[in-house]
A = this chain, B = another copy of it.
């Protein structure tokens, strides 16, 4: 079977790592952002590792578990990789909610970091 293209492999590895850190130990997400990274979280905007991590570490729940329904990866301008994730998450004892999140990944000093991150719950998706 043909190997999947590089952007698929890098994108899938990043997505796996991101949600593993998110669910187990959010502090480790810090290594995936830089001072130039942008996060939009439910419409609220943050720029830079410190602002992003402050948001991440103060999300109002004790435990979270993501499960991924689909992921799409594409090669993007400037040798970046674009990833879109659709899935479900469960926070504490709340009902399961849908979410979608996208990332732009860029190789800096032989490491893939996240330059752009947009997250939305799917709560208001249906009439």
Q: Which residues from chain A sit less than 8 Å from chain B, CB to CB?
A: 38, 40, 43, 45, 69-70, 72, 74-78, 80, 82, 84, 86, 88, 96, 98, 100, 102, 104, 106, 115-116, 118, 120, 122, 124-127
Q: Select one of B77, B86, B100 contacting A78, CB under 8 A.
A: B77
Q: Is the CB of A40 within 8 A of B74?
A: yes
Residues of chain B with a CB closer than 8 A to A120's CB: 70, 72, 84, 86, 100
A8 nearest in chain B by CB position:
B45
Q: Interface majority SS on A: helix, strand, loop or mixed? A: strand
Instruction: From known contacts A86-B120, A122-B86, A125-B88, infer whether A76 and B43 are also in contact, taking CB-CB under 8 Å.
Output: no
Interface centre among A74, A106, A126 (most CB of B within 10 A): A74
A101 to chain B, nearest CB (A): 9
A100 partner residues in chain B, CB cutoff 8 A: 84, 86, 100, 120, 122
A72 contacts which chain B residues (CB < 8 A)?
40, 43, 118, 120
